[in-house]
């Protein structure tokens, strides 16, 4: 059958294109229809602009963005027992009206959506998994101070999950005023402009002379050294924002070694593929937790969606996120109106 998907044929361009999808999935696979997908303002926009090693400017092959999906199973292939037609599921699928997923390692990352969780909420579960993986790796104890640097979607989710994990106080640092306002509405204890003269003194006034945990969620290498400086002696710095590029002015001895800092890479792929008694938190397990938190109203993500668009508006949204991120927070694509 013919369907639609988003494609970036070249750097800085995004279109909706028709493509063929088989009517039946292969053995071990599923055919799904998208209801809602969420644009990742970090990874997807970086790839769209050719700012990543996955899609450097010299590479001319088309890029199909997206990995935050909520929708319905239309058909299952032979041997599939976890899902049946009609199931609502969430997981990592690109922006498309219909898709087939048959890779076992990818299917393992999907989870069923509870009846009282909306598609818009469930589509945010992928970014929730990314944030939760970082929070788990931070090892936050009740009453530890946590600073989230960069409070876009992933930073806001990480902050809320850190609060649920016992962070006190939870502080957000963000250059964009509109995102600082969003963080205040989302319940952060204190929200600061990192460029303000008073921010440094606030960090020093924390118990133990700095933050117990810094969660770096900007993805910018310029934020790395300042994050280390704000961390207390013996504290932890979690690199959550897929930091890309070289870090200038970084002296490991002065910035990390002398202070005894622990620096943790928290890419979502670092979650275990198979759970063990010592670490059961696979991506699928984390997704079930995120969906349960939504179901029980402990994680309200509706305020994080600032724009709902139809697929034909996606090109404008990608360009807008690239040149004016302050105008957007979460962008949901409604594929039921494709």
Q: What is the pLDDT of residue 77?
A: 96
Q: What is the pLDDT of residue 338?
A: 80
Phi, psi of 121 (to 5 degrees): -65, -50
Q: Which residues pair with 148 in a beta bridge?
A: 172, 215
CA distance 303 to 17: 30
User: CA dist 4 to 83, 215, 279, 332, Å?
Assistant: 24, 37, 39, 16
Q: With beta carbons less than 8 A apart as the criterion, state whether 233 and 208 touch.
A: yes
Strands 30-39 and 330-334: antiparallel
Q: What is the pLDDT of residue 295?
A: 98
CA distance 281 to 185: 29
pLDDT (tens, 9 = 90+) of the chain, 338 residues, equals 999 999 999 999 999 999 999 999 999 999 999 999 999 998 999 999 988 767 777 666 899 999 999 999 999 999 999 999 999 999 999 999 999 999 999 999 999 999 999 999 999 999 999 999 999 999 999 999 999 999 999 999 999 999 999 999 999 999 999 999 999 999 999 999 999 989 989 988 998 989 999 999 998 889 999 999 999 999 999 999 887 778 888 999 999 999 999 999 999 999 998 999 999 999 999 999 999 999 999 999 999 999 999 999 999 999 999 999 999 999 999 999 98
């Amino acid at each position: 059958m013919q369907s639609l998907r988003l494609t970036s044929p070249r750097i800085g361009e995004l279109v909706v294109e028709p493509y063929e999808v088989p009517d039946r999935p292969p053995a071990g696979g599923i055919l799904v229809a998208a209801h809602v997908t969420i644009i990742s303002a970090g990874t997807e926009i970086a790839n769209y602009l050719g700012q990543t090693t996955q899609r450097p400017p010299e590479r001319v092959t088309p890029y199909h963005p997206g990995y935050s999906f909520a929708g319905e199973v239309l058909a299952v292939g032979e041997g599939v027992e976890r899902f049946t037609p009609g199931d609502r599921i969430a997981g990592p699928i690109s922006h498309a009206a219909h898709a087939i997923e048959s890779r076992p390692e990818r299917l393992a990352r999907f989870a069923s959506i509870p009846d009282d969780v909306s598609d818009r909420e469930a589509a945010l579960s992928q970014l929730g998994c990314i944030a939760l993986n970082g929070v788990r790796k931070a090892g936050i104890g009740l009453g530890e101070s946590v600073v989230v640097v960069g409070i876009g979607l992933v930073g806001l989710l990480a902050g809320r999950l850190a609060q649920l994990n016992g962070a006190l106080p939870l502080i957000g640092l963000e250059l964009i005023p509109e995102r600082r306002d969003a963080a205040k509405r989302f319940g952060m204890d204190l929200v600061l402009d990192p460029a303000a003269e008073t921010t440094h003194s606030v960090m020093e006034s924390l118990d133990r002379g700095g933050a117990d945990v810094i969660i770096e969620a900007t993805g910018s290498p310029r934020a790395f050294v300042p994050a280390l400086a704000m961390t207390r002696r013996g504290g932890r710095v979690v690199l959550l924002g897929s930091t890309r590029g070289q870090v200038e002015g970084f002296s490991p001895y002065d910035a990390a070694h002398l202070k005894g800092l622990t620096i943790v890479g928290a890419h979502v792929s670092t979650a275990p593929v198979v759970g063990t008694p010592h670490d059961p938190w696979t991506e699928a397990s984390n997704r079930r937790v995120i969906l349960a938190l939504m179901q029980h109203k402990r994680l309200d993500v509706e305020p994080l969606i600032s724009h709902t668009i139809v697929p034909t508006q996606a090109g404008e949204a990608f360009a807008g996120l690239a040149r004016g991120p302050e105008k957007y927070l979460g962008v949901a694509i409604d594929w039921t109106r494709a």
